[in-house]
Chain A
Amino acid sequence: MFKKILIANRGEIAVRVIRACHEMGIAAVAVYSDVDRASLHVRKADDAYPIGAAAASESYLNIQKILDVAARSGADAIHPGYGFLSENAKFARACVDAGVKSIGPTAAAMDAMGSKTRARQAMERAGVPYVPGTSRGLESFEQAEEVAARIGYPVMLKAAAGGGGKGMRLVHAPAELKSSLEGARSEAERSFGDSEVYIEKAILNPRHIEMQVLADEHGNTVYLGERECSLQRRHQKVVEEAPSPIVDPEMRRKMGEVAVRVAKAAGYTNAGTVEFLVDQQKNFYFLEMNTRLQVEHPVTELITGLDLVHLQIRIAAGERLPFTQDQVVIRGHAIECRIYAEDPDNNYFPSPGKITLLLLPSGPGIRLDSGMYEGWTVPMDYDPLLAKLIGYGTDRDQAISRLTRALNEYFVGGIKTNLSLFRHILSDPDFRAAKMDTGFLDRLLKQKKAEAPADPKAIEVATIAAGIFTVLGASAAGAGERPVGNDSSATKPTVASNWLRTARKEAMR
Chain B
Amino acid sequence: MTYDITIDGKHYRLDLNRPEGRWSCRLDGREVEVDAVLARPDVLSIRLGNQAYEVKCERVSGEMHLWVGSARFAAEVRDPRSLRGRVRAADDRGPKKLTASMPGKIVRVLVSQGSEVEAGAGVLVVEAMKMQNELKSPKKGTIQKILVSEGAAVNAGDVLAIVE
Listed in ascending order, the chain A residues whose CB lies under 8 Å from chain B are: 341, 346, 349-354, 356-357, 359, 377, 380-384, 408, 411, 413-415, 420, 423, 454-455, 457-472, 475-481, 483, 491-495, 498-499, 501-502, 505-506
Contact = CB atoms under 8 A, between A and B. Distances in A.
B40 A478 contact: yes
Nearest to A454: B71
B67 to A, nearest CB: 7
B34 interface: yes
Interface of B: 1, 3, 5, 7-8, 10, 12, 14, 16, 18, 23, 25, 27, 32, 34, 36, 38, 40-44, 46, 48, 51, 53, 55-62, 64, 66-71, 73, 75-79, 81-82, 84-85, 88, 97, 101-105, 128-131, 133, 156-157, 159
A411 B84 contact: no
Contacts of A356: 42, 58-60
A463 B5 contact: yes
A465 B53 CA distance: 10
B52 to A, nearest CB: 10
B73 to A, nearest CB: 4
- The 9 A-B pairs of least Cβ separation, nearest first, read A350-B129, A492-B62, A478-B41, A478-B42, A466-B75, A502-B82, A465-B55, A380-B128, A462-B73
A468 B16 contact: yes
A104 B14 CA distance: 62
Given A408-B70, A458-B68, A498 B43 contact: no
A466 B62 contact: no
Contacts of A381: 129
Contacts of A462: 7, 55, 66, 68, 71, 73, 75
Nearest to A419: B70
B44 to A, nearest CB: 5
A117 to B, nearest CB: 28
Contacts of A382: 129
A423 B61 CA distance: 27
A349 B59 contact: no
Contacts of A470: 3, 77
B158 to A, nearest CB: 9
A495 B84 contact: no
B7 A463 contact: yes
B82 A359 contact: no
Nearest to A380: B128
Contacts of A423: 70
A423 B103 CA distance: 27
A467 B56 contact: no
A353 B44 CA distance: 24
B120 to A, nearest CB: 14
Contacts of A478: 40-43
